[in-house]
Structure 1
């Protein structure tokens, strides 16, 4: 089941086991059960602390539990074969159930242990989903730290009838005690915030006590991470507040144009960004959404950023790097059927539409790539493009045209998504040449029409373009003294990771240059150690 290279890596990891574990399999006579048993035997062969049992009686077959033999209350369960993106989740589960401590802040560990109540989490994932492992790993970690928390990770493609019955149409989907809990990528701290009702208030109180920063970065994507690193390297007090560290990179599957790195994936790059930022003295405040920007009252005074939790951060300079999100069609039915057939990530949700009919909205590179990927899974793809021709690269268009189960519709405007109250049943588009409307019967709609900047909270505070982008000059400065911006939220053309990193670095250097040219801090401003750095 596992090749020699994976076995060697697994053997090295399993040397970290501190306590014996047992892999308890629940099997039937299907080929997938045979594959699972082979996988478990391959794992057990790599360590004398791992044993395998066929005595499982779980209703989901094939499935298996990883159980700590000295304390059976400590366990996690997988329904299906956790390979692909979930193989790392499997390895971490083996280690953590086996006593190897998870890499979680001590404060978070205590918060998980202190949760009062019985929690049964069920997570539906797909093996091609790059967002699912974070959720699976977070809930597995929580179940190891607190025996009153149980978790089972379920391969939706393998248990399709269950997916149909529970109306799961997007991954990751999490149920808590049988009821819908969350959809989409979540980190451990985000899950905690949803079930620990006092967490947000505690976080706000902690933030309120922070001293003023020299540079405050708002946003944790490539631009924000680069800005924080460049600012911290100047030896000045640097903070970073982000709604989710990594930003939209977390939702990106393959990255093949990051110079000097031929291929990587978004979550891996985001993890590297976070680790690089943490290597410096940066005060990272994750899971914090900005709500308002208040310019300084006097030149060189403190700028304020109000957060949605009620806390306020203060800084002598601010770098806005809030990024962008998927653009919506804004047609009737889109909101009503989001995650009920309307999706934005073909890699994540595509396997849930195996054998079904879907549409892809958008004929740029993202849309055509999505259609190509989905054509290998679904029964039929209808690609709908507003323009008179596709805008994707020629090589992608040739590949798309070669696929027998793809129909391309150009000069078309999607006008409505239809459903039966529970799921998508079709869509209507208008032929822009004839004004005739056409209805397409299908089960899924994948929207791939570009990005919209996350700048609504900045209206009236800084100058925005008609598209809502932050207007910046060649130095990354906005029209507000001391406020800079970088990345996909700005008017800088070409929304690319490598460009965002460069713009973030430039904004940080510009902020530092702004600081060293200021007169003495305005009366009432917090002292900062900028002088020593400037003289160095």
Structure 2
């Protein structure tokens, strides 16, 4: 079932198993159960520390993993291949006693969580966001006997998906109730269940000494700024909601010079590792609320804490732009989606629409066309902005229609899920309705600068931070970079360059201020 190359890589990892583990397989006569059994058998044949036993999980097929003699708390309902194969390998290593590389303080918080926490995560094997959530919850279950977690392949357990109305992944349930949607880090999950520790953490952040350069945002621009600042030997920190930013939601990256192909999560992990090598203080799980000056620059956080810096680099990035039409909010994750790679499999054999005729929109249409029955692309303008090679590819496929001059006016549904989209022809004014099951919004980005609206930092009409050639803003000592700034062309490599520029300018500012 596993090819020779994958087995060779796996053999290297399995050497890290320190103690015997048991893999329990719950199955029936289905083809998928046979696949799970075959996969488990191959794993057991590769290590004398892995043994197999018959499982009794209510969901079948299911693979459960635990240290020998311990009741399993980590379960994979489905065949954990695709993007989830890494989750399976990590679960084996953790059950076998291999330590996690997560923050030791965070691990201790997990071990001491009180109460019963039974997590269920619905995923699709093509979802690049899902593994982070699965791996975080698996780790929590491995550390604390009061926590269990089951990964559920939504494509295999359609009855459950339909019953719970899951139309976007990852979808996490805790003790039977909806807990969260979309990518979540380990720290974000712990913060959500361990609310008693929030005040203590805020107090600890308040006690931190001022930084020479305080970077707000953990994407490519923020990472580059932190590295360039730290290399100058000055006290540097990054504060962000999560490390990686928008890059974590990017699948294929083919225009990063010198790297022919990589993926967002992989690039983000490399960036974080590089930043850590310079001793940068990385503070995640925090969102900026305001910036003020009282001699030093103060970054007020939504948690109530305040961090201080002699200079600040704003690199808060951007998020998906929303349609802003009736029905969009009501049917978010119930037919309105923003990630075709993650949620596309839920619309297999159905009709969908993609809103937006830029590169992202046409790429989404092409990807979806291989899964769904039909794709309708709605573009507001009278021309497509996508590269010609993508447009030709889309037009060559038999199940993609492209409609230009189409102004989306409403998302329609039956109260529980999307069933149509309404649009107006901008030339004739005629109203149209298309019956469908899903709508994928791909209309660009909006900068994450809302927290600056009441500050001294000047913003453009589009909400971008206005900077000069050196990355300086209208507020002395404050610099900006990346997608949050008014630089042309929102590209990863350009964001990194602007982050470096902002950090070098901040260092120059510190030298001049000291003089």
Task: Find the counterpart in structure 2 of residue 504 from structure 1.
Answer: 499
Contact 1:74–1:97, Cα closer than 8 Å, also in 2 = no
The aligned residue for residue 465 of structure 1 is 460
- C-alpha distance in structure 1 between counterparts of 2:493 and 2:172, whole Å: 33
TM-aligned CA deviation for residue 145 of structure 1: 0.2
| Structure 1 position 420, deviation (Å) | 1.3
Identify which of 333, 336, 346 aligns with 1:342.
Answer: 336
Q: State whether residues 75 and 97 of structure 1, in contact with CA within 8 Å, keep that contact through their aligned partners in structure 2.
A: no
- 2:413 corresponds in structure 1 to 419
Distance 1:118 1:312 in 2: 33
Write out per-residue CA displacement over residues 222-257 of structure 1, whole angstroms, 9 at most, x where no aligned residue: 000000011011011111110111000000010000
Q: Deviations over 1:367-394 (max 9, x none)?
A: 0000111111111111111111221111
Q: 2:319 aligns with which of 314, 325, 329?
A: 325
Aligned to 1:487: 482
- Does residue 306 of structure 1 match 2:300? yes
1:65 corresponds to: 64
Alignment of 1:3 with 2:7, yes or no, is no
C-alpha separation in 2, matches of 1:487 and 1:144: 38
In the other structure, the counterpart of 1:477 is 472
Q: Which moved more, 1:411-420 or 1:96-105?
A: 96-105
**1:75 Cα offset (Å):** 3.5
The CA deviation at 1:109 is 1.4
Q: For each residue in 1:104-128, what CA deviation from the matched residue of structure 2 results, as whole angstroms up to 9, or x when unmatched?
A: 2221111011111111100011111
Normalising to structure 1: TM-score of the pair? 0.94
Displacement of 1:74 in angstroms is: 4.9
Runs of 4+ in 1 over 4 A off after TM superposition: none
**1:83-162 aligned within 5 A:** 83-162=81-160
Out of 357, 374, 379, which is 2:373 matched to? 379
Instruction: Show the 5 A alignment for 1:149-298.
Output: 149-295=147-293, 297=294
- Residues 53-107 of structure 1: per-residue CA shift (max 9 Å, x gap): 3x2222221111112113x135310011111111110000011011111112221
Question: Counterparts in 2 of 1:21-40, with a 5 A limit?
Answer: 21-40=21-40
Distance in structure 2 (CA, Å) of the matches to 1:235 and 1:100: 34
Q: Is the 8 A contact 2:122 2:151 kept in 1?
A: yes
Could you tell me which residue of structure 1 aligns to residue 448 of structure 2?
454
After superposition, what is the alpha-carbon deviation per residue over 1:397-426, rounded to whole angstroms, capped at 9, x for unaligned? 111111112221111000000111111111
CA distance in 2, matches of 1:493, 1:423: 38
Quote the Cα distance in structure 2 between the aligned partners of 1:6 and 1:468.
Answer: 47
Q: Considering only aligned residues, what root-mean-square deviation do their CA atoms show, in Å?
A: 1.0
Give yes or no for contact 1:324–1:451 (8 Å, CA) kept in 2.
yes
The 3-state SS of whatever aligns with 1:207 is helix
Partners of 1:59 and 1:422 in 2: CA distance: 28
Measure the CA separation in 2 of the matches of 1:474 and 1:391.
Answer: 28
Structure-2 separation of matches of 1:216 and 1:433:
50
Partner Cα distance (2:152, 2:276) in 1: 33
Secondary structure in 1 aligned to 2:484?
coil
* Count of matched residue positions in the alignment of Structure 1 and Structure 2: 514
Given that 1:242 and 1:289 are in contact with CA atoms closer than 8 Å, whether structure 2 keeps it comes out as yes
- Structure 2: gaps of 5 or more residues: none
**Contact 2:213-2:236 within 8 A present in 1 as well:** yes
Question: Partners in 2 of 1:31 and 1:379 — Cα distance?
Answer: 25
TM-score with structure 2 setting the length:
0.98
Moved more, 319-328 or 156-165: 156-165
Please give the per-residue CA displacement for 1:318-337, whole angstroms capped at 9, x wherever unaligned.
Answer: 10000000000100000111
CA distance in 2, matches of 1:63, 1:502: 47
Separation in structure 2 between the aligned mates of residue 38 and residue 148 of structure 1, nearest angstrom: 30
Cα deviation, 1:265-297, whole Å, max 9, x if unaligned, reads 0011111111111111211111110000113x5
CA apart distance, 1:306: 0.5
Matched residue, 1:42:
42
Q: Is the 8 A contact 2:340 2:440 kept in 1?
A: yes
Deviations 1:330-377 (A, max 9, x none): 000001111111000000111111111111000000000001111111
Equivalent in the alignment of 1:362: 356
CA deviation profile, 1:152-200 (whole Å, cap 9, x unmatched): 0011111112111111111000000111000010111100011101222
Q: Is the 8 A contact 1:74 1:143 kept in 2?
A: no
Task: Identify the residue that residue 16 of structure 1 maps to in structure 2.
Answer: 16
Q: CA deviation at 1:26?
A: 1.2
Alpha-carbon distance in structure 1 between the residues aligned to 2:179 and 2:110: 17
Q: Is the 8 A contact 2:219 2:247 kept in 1?
A: yes
